[in-house]
Homo-oligomer: A and B are copies of this chain.
């Protein structure tokens, strides 16, 4: 077992149990404590966990769990399924907006196949990826970089979006309940709203687990979206609220690889 596998595994343990003991994992992987110390140190530096005496924890509520580097590691198969379904709405030649989030960066990857295409985004991961792909016109929105979301936000971002126009915007959300989608961060909400305002079609791409939660700011009314893509059917109350409106719902199926 190699270093990175071991570290990934440590994270998995941590996600399951919130805490691990150093002696424990050293024994489990058959390596010295020092090696585990180094693993934990590096992961801590990467912002994934917090070292405590005798082990490490992943404390919710702190920056850690909400950090993009952490979320990036989670449920990548669901993300891929969502991204592929979302991409089916796009034809070559279109102009698309993609917002922040690790789900969105997977979508960015997938969309790079649909060239020629114009991608407008504030998502740093997508910029980095799309840069190298010919046939993709990449338009960055600019703004102040946020390490927490790995994307750019602020007045500059919003102003840039207000001067642009896309065929379709893909919006993600960390929480939704009833007819509303939520987000905890004001700057992020504004950027997403600006994208929606600047696009013909609006598409919400959301993990089914996010339903039943709320957050400080209302991001949008679900009925504002032309399409909602999720990995499971929407909860009954939400489905009922949307019934009869113009919002289509699509369920992404995981393609078992």
Contacts and interface: CB of A to CB of B under 8 A. Distances in A.
Interface of A: 124, 127-128, 130-131, 134, 137-145, 147, 150, 152, 154-157, 159-160, 163-164
Work out how many copies of this chain go into the complex.
2
Mostly, the A contact residues are mixed
Chain B CB within 10 A, most for which of A147, A154, A156, A163 = A156
Contacts of A150: 131
A155 B127 CA distance: 18
Contacts of A159: 159-160, 163
Chain B CB within 10 A, most for which of A130, A140, A147, A163 = A140
A143 B145 contact: no
A131 B147 contact: yes
A46 to B, nearest CB: 11
Nearest to A157: B142
Given A124-B127, A124-B131, A131-B124, A156 B144 contact: no
A156 B160 contact: yes
